[in-house]
């Protein structure tokens, strides 16, 4: 029955957005990352992203990340400047300790900006972090 279904709580897995220099385009880019601050790897990581604001919405993008080692991180995607004025949702699903975990991280519109930067765990960079 429904009462017997255990829904594990996601802990120590975050989504961050960082502004980084792109050598290929000689410009600053906004990049999103998934951070695994757990002491164990997370496996079969799948991230589904979308942007929305009222009637405007982006395409749904699916990213198969695979395994992220313990206390490590992986890049999800680059965010175009136009998307920062929209809500950006990252639905993260992964396996750890033989259980399926799932969590949505939502960067509200206009919250991705340099004024919101803070030190990020594991990455040794500054950016915006959602726990």
Q: What would the mean pLDDT of 89-101 be, rounded to a whole number?
A: 96
**pLDDT in the model for residue 122:** 96
The mean pLDDT value for 36-60 works out to 96
Q: What percent of the chain is modeled with pLDDT above 90?
A: 89
Q: Provide CB contacts within 8 A for 26, sequence distance 6+.
A: none
State mean pLDDT over 101-124: 96
Domains annotated for the chain, with CATH where assigned, are 2-130 (2.60.40.1600)
pTM summary value: 0.93
Q: Residue range 20-48: average pLDDT?
A: 95
Pick from 31, 39, 19, 41: which is nearest to 94 by CA? 41
Contacts of range 106-115, beta carbons closer than 8 Å, 24 or more positions apart: 106/130, 107/17, 109/53, 109/84, 109/85, 110/84, 110/85, 112/17, 112/30, 112/79, 112/84, 112/88, 113/84, 114/19
Whether pLDDT at 24 is above 90: no
The mean pLDDT of 82-106, rounded to a whole number, is 96
């Amino acid at each position: 029955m429904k009462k017997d279904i255990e829904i594990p709580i996601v802990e120590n897995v975050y989504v961050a957005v960082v502004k980084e220099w792109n050598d290929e385009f000689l410009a600053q880019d906004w990049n999103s990352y998934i951070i695994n601050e757990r002491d164990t790897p997370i496996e079969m990581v799948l991230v589904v992203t979308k942007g929305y604001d009222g009637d405007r919405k982006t395409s749904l993008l699916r990213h198969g990340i695979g395994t992220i080692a313990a206390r490590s991180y992986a890049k999800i995607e680059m965010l175009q400047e136009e998307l920062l004025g929209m809500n950006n949702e990252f639905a993260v699903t992964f396996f750890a300790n033989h259980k399926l975990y799932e969590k949505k991280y939502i960067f509200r519109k206009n919250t991705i900006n340099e004024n919101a930067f803070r030190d990020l765990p594991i990455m040794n960079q500054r950016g915006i972090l959602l726990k």
